[in-house]
Structure formats: structure tokens, C-alpha cells
Amino acid sequence: MNTLKCALAGAAIMLPASAMADELNLICSADVVICERLVTEFESSHPDTDVNMVRMSSGEAYAKIRAEARNPQTDLWWGGTGDPHLQAGHDGLTAEYKSPMLAELQDWAQGQAEVSDFRTVGVYSGALGWGYNKELFAEKGITAPECWADLLDPALKGEIQIADPNSSGTAYTTLATLVQLMGEDEAFDFLKKMHANVSQYTKSGSAPVKAAARGETGLGIVFQHDAVAQAVSGFPIGVVAPCEGTGYEIGSMSMIEGAQNPEAAKTFYDWVLTAEVQNMMPEAGSFQIPSNASATPPEEAPDLSTIKLIDYDFAEYGSAERRKALLARWDDEIGSLPLQ
């Protein structure tokens, strides 16, 4: 019996890789509920693949992928703002892949692929703005801000949270948006003044509006769909699109150059671009605009056609040089300031 057991064990060890479960090492840069839903649905429809998922903000994800460039531990990076995905492509950290699903995608999603030489692709879109706690503002007699300029109101002292642009793609999009709206020097002057009203720079981009929903702060600068998610969950959150105009994200997806499991990565890549998968995202609290042209945008999603959007320059602000320079200036002029 012992001899038989040893023989069977040896046979198991010698099984070809094709007979063993595939693996997919995934970084997900969206809300953890969305990430977990994607993993559950993918493993259900692809039972021969085990997904190892880690949730990271897009800035953290870029840093991890860069640190592991010589020995990649990640196969696929899904979600998060497009700028760090574009920088990763520019740095040769992500692989060229032309999905057979490309033709089914919205023009902006295909454009993201084209500008990156097909090293990333758009998976969703959403406009920048903020969410504020309506009950808290009413209690304190604070007028809800409608414009970027209103965020400098002294009545908002200690009431604003925004993420750190080094870790958060949301906050980097805010920084790049203000630079494009105002000019670089003027944007940094604005941020220095707004700093007096900031209580915390969080690591995660969606954390500020979650804090506002709990009444821990008055207002969070976030993508509007993250504020909508809190309102839909029953929290007293009002959603604002800034009157001067605002930027937007193209949430993106990238395969990693030198990935250990490229075929599993391609399978997930193609699967998550289908209308069927994108249509289920609102069930996980995702209210972005889907990239598949046949997918149905959530009823609660902000209508981008009614929002004053700037002509956001993804090529420039997703470039390595521009992004590094802006982050360095933010660290020097904003991040170094003491919180009030």
C-alpha cells in the first residue's frame, strides 16, 4: 500500500501543467467589493483558473509593478485611473495586446489603447467632482460648494478630505485637472489655499467620500460615481460636478510584460470587456460608464453629457516625465505642509 501511495504521489508530481489549475495574479485598483465580485464571477465561469487578487490604489499598483520589473509577480492590472497605466506602458512595464473585443468598445476606450500602443485599454469612465454630507452641512450652516473656487471658503476649514496623488489615481487626476483648468502655478496656488480646509490626505481615492458618508468629514473630492455609490447605499451624500469644468478618468486595464500566466491574463482581459460582465457591475456598487458600447450604463451613473468636461490630455498627463514632475512639486509644495 505504501508503495502504491508513493507511486501515485510521484505521478501527481509529474502531471503536465495543463492538467493542473491555472493561476492568475491580479492587481485590482477599484473598490474592494467590485474587485471581489469580478474574481467570484470569473472563477465561477472559469473553474480551471484560480485568481490571486490584491487590491491596491493605482499609484501603489504602478510602484509595485515597477519594483518587480525584473521578476514580475503580477499578470494583470485591472482598474484605476488611466494615467499610471499609460506611464507603465511608456516605461515598458506592460505588454502589447490587441483584444478581439476592441471593436466592441466605446471610442474613448479604443483611444486609450491606441495612445498607449495597445499596452492598456479603457474599461470604464467617470467624471471628477465631490460628494458632501447634506445633513452635516445643514447642521453646521455650510453652503454646499458648487465650484472649485468654493472649496476655498473658510467655512469649510477642516471639512475636506482628498487622497494623496502619489498613491491615488483619483487625486492625481484632480491635480492634473486643476493644472489644465488654471495653469500649473495657479493650480498649486489654489491647492495651497485649499490645504487650509483639508483635514486629511488619504491613501485611497474613494476613502474621502466614505468618510463624508459616515459624518467623519464634510466633503470628499472623488470621482462622482464613488459619491453616487454612497448615496445609493442610503447615506445623505450630495453629488457635485464643478461649475468651472472638470476632468474625467478612463479606468484602464493592462497586461504585465513578462507575466508568468499570460494566457490566463488574456482570458480575463477579453472576458471583462464583454457587455455581459460590465452589465453586472452596478450590483457590486460600481456606477461608472462601461467601456463596451453594448453595455447599459447604470441609471444612477452621472450623465457625462450634462457635465462640463475639460479636454483632458491623457497623453501628456499620463507621460512619465509630466507625472513625475507634478508629483514631485506636490510633495514639495503641498505634501510637506502641516495639517491645520
Asked if 206 contacts 226 with a C-beta cutoff of 8 angstroms, the reply is yes
Asked if 197 contacts 190 with a C-beta cutoff of 8 angstroms, the reply is no
- CA atoms of 256 and 42, how far apart (whole Å): 19
Q: Which of 263, 277, 226, 225 is nearest to 105 (CA)?
A: 277
Considering the domain architecture, whether residues 43 and 180 belong to the same structural domain is answered as no
287-325: pLDDT as tens digits = 999 999 999 999 999 988 899 999 999 989 989 899 999
pTM of the predicted structure, to 2 decimals: 0.85
Considering the domain architecture, whether residues 120 and 130 belong to the same structural domain is answered as no
For β-strands 121-133 and 248-255, DSSP reports them as antiparallel
Considering the domain architecture, whether residues 197 and 50 belong to the same structural domain is answered as no
Q: Give the pLDDT confidence score for residue 13 in this predicted structure.
A: 44
| Grid cell in block for residue 20 | 493542473
- Any bridge partners for residue 76, and if so which? 26, 255
Asked if 62 contacts 172 with a C-beta cutoff of 8 angstroms, the reply is no
Q: Give the pLDDT confidence score for residue 285 in this predicted structure.
A: 85
Considering the domain architecture, whether residues 109 and 139 belong to the same structural domain is answered as no
- Classify residue 260 as exposed, middle or buried by CB count within 10 Å of its CB (0-12, 13-18, 19+): middle
**How many CB atoms within 10 Å of residue 209?**
32
Q: Give the pLDDT confidence score for residue 340 in this predicted structure.
A: 75
Q: Give the pLDDT confidence score for residue 251 in this predicted structure.
A: 96
Q: Is 305 inside a domain boundary? A: no
Q: Is the pLDDT of residue 4 over 60?
A: no
The count of domains in the chain is 2
Q: Which of 60, 101, 104 is nearest to 80 (CA)?
A: 60
- CA atoms of 25 and 127, how far apart (whole Å): 29
State the pLDDT confidence band at 120, using cuts at 50, 70 and 90: very high
Considering the domain architecture, whether residues 168 and 222 belong to the same structural domain is answered as yes
- CA atoms of 123 and 58, how far apart (whole Å): 14
Considering the domain architecture, whether residues 169 and 273 belong to the same structural domain is answered as no
Q: Is the pLDDT of residue 16 over 80?
A: no
Q: Is 307 inside a domain boundary? A: no
55-96: pLDDT as tens digits = 999 999 999 999 999 999 999 999 999 999 999 999 999 999
When the pLDDT of each residue in the chain is averaged and rounded to a whole number, the result is: 93
pLDDT, mean of residues 7-17: 43
Q: Give the pLDDT confidence score for residue 42 in this predicted structure.
A: 98
- Classify residue 117 as exposed, middle or buried by CB count within 10 Å of its CB (0-12, 13-18, 19+): exposed
pLDDT, mean of residues 335-339: 95
Q: Give the pLDDT confidence score for residue 252 in this predicted structure.
A: 97
Residue numbers of the domain that contains 274: 2-125+249-297
157-196: pLDDT as tens digits = 999 999 999 999 999 999 999 999 999 999 999 999 999 9
Considering the domain architecture, whether residues 198 and 331 belong to the same structural domain is answered as yes
State the pLDDT confidence band at 20, using cuts at 50, 70 and 90: low
Rounding to the nearest 10 degrees, give the CA dihedral for residues 27, 41, 229, 86.
Answer: 30
The CATH code of the domain that includes 44 is: 3.40.190.10
- CA atoms of 244 and 261, how far apart (whole Å): 45
Considering the domain architecture, whether residues 130 and 109 belong to the same structural domain is answered as no
Q: Give the pLDDT confidence score for residue 19 in this predicted structure.
A: 47
Asked if 291 contacts 124 with a C-beta cutoff of 8 angstroms, the reply is yes
- CA atoms of 87 and 94, how far apart (whole Å): 9
| Grid cell in block for residue 325 | 514632475
Q: Is 308 inside a domain boundary? A: no
